[in-house]
Structure 1
Amino acid sequence: MTLLDQTAPGALRDAQAQPKSVDVYDFRRPTTLAREHSRVLELAFDTFARQWGTQLTAKVRVLSQVTCETVSMTTYDEFAASLPATTAMVLCPLEGASAKAVIQFPSASALGWVTHMLGGNPAGQSLPERKFTPVEQALVRRLMDDALEDLRYSLGSLLVAPISVGGFQYNSQFAQAASKSDLMIVASFEIRVGEAAAPATLALPAEVLLPQLGESNPTSTTVGARDLIDQQLAAVPVDVALGFLPARVLPSDVLDLKVGDLVALPHPEHRPLDVTVGGEPVGRAAVGANGSRLAGIIVTTEERLA
């Protein structure tokens, strides 16, 4: 006996009655990075992380390490929504671009860096998330100037627009670094200064970097495709072999073979050897010599239909 689920039709009707959510996707502005682009950017930001960690160690005078964790592309609205409500944001204008780059990190962590720079030890202290004083801001600005120098070195030809440190913001929802729909390349980092670790992000306008990355899937014209294939195949190395006619023997004969046994071949003495490529016969050749080496002298070739 089969029991029918009487609630299934009703559940199906309820599911059909619910309004469906449709997201509009603009194919002219994809929100995901191509694999080739992502790999190039990951290598560049890994280099930036190492350089940034070295600079922090020199300026803060405490062993520091910066690790790049993820690289993605998202809209500025989504990027800002992912940040804490209160945090330190350094807005960095780029020449020729309306959107600004953003370096974000907890202000409490930056206060710990400043404490180290001034000879103190913030270990065990609970530092608040607050705005920087003029002195603190000047010291953090010096750290950011060094970070941007490392960024220009690490990105190389990917970052052609001059970039500089601009203003500071402490509310992620009020910072107007770009329009909500502007695409940003966002790299997330972990900054470890001494025993203290803090998350950080770097957001760069996609319009500044993507033109230097080129097309993700470049295509070639199909004109002369047959000639190109022929040229490529002609340059591929293949194994050529000279072979005798095969001999048919019993499995017992093979199992009883030992050193010194003779295997009779049905190949006539005056018949040329078969010339094969990948096991396929392409002609015949007589045994000859080339200096001190054995060689095959081609005597016939087999016609092949193209």
Structure 2
Amino acid sequence: MGTVTSLPSGLGGPGPERIAAAAQAAAPVYDFRRPTTLAREHARILELAFETFARQWGTQLTAKIRVMCQVGFVSVQMQAYDDYVAGLPALTTMVLCEPEGTEARAVIQFPASEALSWVCRMLGSPAPGTLPERAFTRIEATLIRSLMNEALEDLHYSLGTLLPRRLQVSSIAHQSQFAQAADKSQLLITAWFTVRVGERSASASVALPAELLLEQLGENREPEPGGNSEALLAASLGTVPVDVQLATAPSAVRPQAILDLAVGDILPLGHRVHQPFDLLAGNHRVGTAAAGSRSGRAAAVIVTTQES
């Protein structure tokens, strides 16, 4: 019997090590203990809301810093706070916002250097080419708070009933690892944006506690019991509008007779004078009825009914 020898990984295709490495690089890590996936219909609703917020925020920035600004929506996802912070730079600006009646905090994040360029333009000075990532002075922090308060108004307008609780700025942090806006395992709905001010462009994000939005999205709604599904279906179908018609029995007519029709011609029908009309609902025969009137309007008097 012959022996089978394995080919080197460089011949005949990639070796098992390369295949395993490629599969590991292509497959995202998913923790089944903390499912953080938005339903498709919920994600679409949030995308439309955050796209509206992006337009509103860009208009507000343009009016405040007197330079053409564009904010573009990138993506929205649900993730744990620890994962969200891990994707942020170590030095950045995190505006912490407190919703009314809850301890959960929302975050508006953007680079501090970009915020300093906004402040420079608000004070009538052109923004320098490079600006440091540093904490704000008292005047700078006051101006940034003013911008963020108006951004929160745009956020409430864009989300509408999805965000019933009002948000207000509570503090500003500059180190993402020490901001402590939420517990590590708390779920957030994070939206990512690109903010372009003049020739400068940067990434920004808005993170909202998932508990503030999921209830309005229907995530916590209890399913209806399945025992009365037939009655629920019948009740729903009973409210669907359908067209009701009175029709005569069909008659066969030659095409030439139709082509020769003129005003005043009489077209005989196969329907007898005293025969009730067919009662059609949605083009289906459900019974017979005689023509009549009620309160000055044409009406149908039901003669027979039939089940199909």
TM-score with structure 2 setting the length: 0.69
1:25 aligns with 2:32: yes
Between the aligned partners of 1:88 and 1:45, the Cα distance in structure 2 is 20
Instruction: Give the counterpart of 2:193 among 186, 189, 193.
Output: 189
Q: Number of residue pairs matched? A: 289
Structure 1's 168 and 144: CA in aligned 2 closer, same or farther, altered over 3 A? farther
Give percent identity, aligned residues only.
43
Q: Which runs of 5+ in 2 are unaligned?
A: 1-5
Q: Could you list the per-position Cα deviations for residues 52-99 of structure 1 after superposition, in whole angstroms to 9, with x for gaps in the alignment? A: 4465456535454544443221223432343345433344566753x6
Amino acid at match of 1:185: I
Q: Could you list the per-position Cα deviations for residues 184-228 of structure 1 after superposition, in whole angstroms to 9, with x for gaps in the alignment? A: 211223334445443211222323443454436653334555444
Shift of 1:302: 3.7
Give the match for residue 250 of structure 2.
246
Q: Which shows bigger deviation, 261-270 or 144-153?
A: 144-153
Shift of 1:46: 4.9
Residues 152 and 159, structure 1, Cα contact 8 Å, conserved in 2: no
- Structural mapping, 1:1-306, within 5 Å: 14=16, 23-26=30-33, 29-42=34-47, 44-46=49-51, 48-49=53-54, 52-53=57-58, 56-57=61-62, 59-62=64-67, 64-92=69-97, 96-97=102-103, 100-122=105-127, 125-132=128-135, 134-135=137-138, 137-139=140-142, 141-143=144-146, 146-147=149-150, 149-150=152-153, 153-154=156-157, 158=163, 160=165, 163-170=168-175, 172=176, 176-215=180-219, 219-222=223-226, 224-254=228-258, 256-260=259-263, 261-290=265-294, 295-298=299-302, 300-304=303-307
Between the aligned partners of 2:75 and 2:165, the Cα distance in structure 1 is 23
Give the match for residue 3 of structure 1.
none
TM-score with structure 1 setting the length: 0.70
Amino acid at match of 1:89: M
Q: Which shows bigger deviation, 182-191 or 43-52?
A: 43-52
Amino acid at match of 2:211: E
Q: Which runs of 5+ in 1 are unaligned?
A: 1-5
Cα RMSD between the aligned structures?
4.2
Structure 1's 275 and 113: CA in aligned 2 closer, same or farther, altered over 3 A? closer
Between the aligned partners of 2:166 and 2:221, the Cα distance in structure 1 is 25
Between the aligned partners of 1:245 and 1:199, the Cα distance in structure 2 is 70
Between the aligned partners of 1:218 and 1:199, the Cα distance in structure 2 is 38
Between the aligned partners of 1:80 and 1:283, the Cα distance in structure 2 is 68
Residues 93 and 166, structure 1, Cα contact 8 Å, conserved in 2: no
Residues 97 and 167, structure 2, Cα contact 8 Å, conserved in 1: no
